[in-house]
Amino acid sequence: MTKKIYDLIIIGGGPAGLSAGVYAGRGKLKTLIIEKGTTGGQAATTNEIVNYPGVRKTTGPALTEEMKLQCEDFGAEFAKTDVIGVDFNGDVKKVKTVNGEYEARAVIIATGAGPRKLGFPGEAEFTGRGVAYCSTCDGEFFEGLEVFVIGAGYAAAEEAMYLTRFASKVTVIAREPEFTCAPSIADKVLAHDQIEVKFNTELLEVSGEGMIQRARFVNNVTKEEWEYKANEKDGTFGVFVFVGYAPKTELFKGIVEMDQHGYIVTDEEMRTNVKGVYAVGDLRPKSLRQVITAVADGAIAGTDVQKYVAEEKERLGITEEPEEEKPAKKEETKQAAANGSKSFLNDAIRGQLTGIFARMESDVTLVSIVDESMPKSVELRDFLTEIAELGDKVHLELHKKGENTEVEEKINADKYPVVALLNQSGEYSGVKFHGVPGGHELNSFILAIYNLAGPGQALDADIAESIKAIDKNVNIKVMVSLACHYCPDVVVGAQRIAILNEHVEAEMVDISQFPELKTKYKVMSVPAMIINDKDVIFGAKKINEIIDAVK
């Protein structure tokens, strides 16, 4: 069978990549969008968007979900995987991922940017233990605590407002003499009774024993220094850093032209110096990085690439039959996706899960030990009951806590709520979920079933061999928040390792249900991996990085 060659591969599923996907798909290009995490990029972590023309007020997740559905309306395909290498030489471009290699006649790089770190003493040491970069992911960990927001731009102002939902007080530390964002949001911050703003001020360092307990600041005009100490009752506080973003372009160094800061250089049509390769969004040098400028880049590239692909096919003498146009998504599907996991069992989501389960090659049994005195354990039971109705190869085994100690020991049921996955032979797969897998973790739960049953997601042969080579017992607890869009990738990666290696156990732990673990391991940010109940590793990790961590 001839390997499929796409007209276009878009690396990155943020607003720029999705916009390019809409225009390319509308132009009848066979388009694949590769995104390693939750679709939407930085915008998906934005609680409120009020400056996107034509949309008076919305959330980042809602806006980008509509963009994704538009791409699907025009026939674009999506692949959720990590890109680990590219080869842009020749007429056909190659994109290597952990799930295999894809090919296309053109590529649009839309990998965006990530939070920039300041480099102050203690920043690296206390990341995940007081220092954070995403209020949507980590804000809930600072309920009732004081937090400092570092920055003077739009993100700092917006996130300061958002953090007032959790923190007892928010102090904005801005090295500038005034905010650098729009006056409309700056005025809201200055008027908020939970927020104090200190201009001309910089953070010098943070310190503490295990958690942040002290921070030193300096007024950069008067040179006066001062120290903040956590009060005895709280024991800690938070520092959220919002000082801009750094381009995620390391993968393309030496392949496409970049400036001294790592931004990819393009012309006005978004073309790089490599024929057939474009770059869009926040990874380009530009004066304004907002959703509207990202989608503008995507529209330009998505239009120009149509001409490029047509010229290439004509030059190479390639003729193809037009593909049958895919029907647009029904409105109820759009609404279901916008509503999120709270409506996962409406008709649209039910239909999607039924389709996934119909492709399963072998049986999977979900085993849950139910503690009827615990509401979340009962909620998990009801969730699993409805899930198991959607596929003939998905089975459910329920036991009341204490009634079958043999099963409890088999799946190491040491925390509740709990559900474990058994393979077709009834053997424990090493995959467990502690919590109700809603929010972003619904995806990781479904993928765990699909990957255990087969055919599962494709996996690079070298990575599979590295997994099988692990020859010691390893327990991986992935601490998550259901609002964290980085967490599912770590959960899926850890659980894929467990499925392929009997020495490994991988647990998803909804940290909101286990405050004692949060305290024990001093976790103030997610995702966080606990290896063998000892080593704590914070941040999003690719599957090869998880393998390296457990070897």
Q: Which amino acids are annotated catalytic? A: 134, 137-138
**Alpha carbons 264 and 258: distance in angstroms, whole number:** 4
Tokens of 149: 């927001």
CB 69 within 8 A of CB 78: no
Residue of 7, 15, 537, 48 whose CA lies nearest to 305:
7
CB 159 within 8 A of CB 172: no
**Alpha carbons 266 and 431: distance in angstroms, whole number:** 45
Provide the β-strand partners of residue 97: 83, 100
CB 341 within 8 A of CB 443: no
Residue of 212, 201, 241 whose CA lies nearest to 122:
212
Tokens of 545: 């990085």
CB 242 within 8 A of CB 151: yes
Radius of gyration of the chain (CA): 24
CB 391 within 8 A of CB 360: yes
Give the helix ranges, DSSP H, for 97-222: 135-138, 154-163, 183-191
Strands of 81-188 (E only): list them. 83-87, 93-97, 100-109, 113-115, 131-132, 146-150, 169-173
CB 106 within 8 A of CB 54: no
Strands of 221-372 (E only): list them. 225-229, 238-241, 245-247, 277-279, 364-370
Provide the β-strand partners of residue 79: 34
What is the crossing angle of helices 543-550 and 487-500, to 10°?
A: 60
Which pairs from 331-334 meet CB under 8 Å and 24+ separation?
Answer: 333/69, 334/66, 334/69
**Alpha carbons 288 and 266: distance in angstroms, whole number:** 16
**Alpha carbons 151 and 3: distance in angstroms, whole number:** 49
31-35 and 5-11 beta bridge pairing: parallel
100-109 and 225-229 beta bridge pairing: unpaired
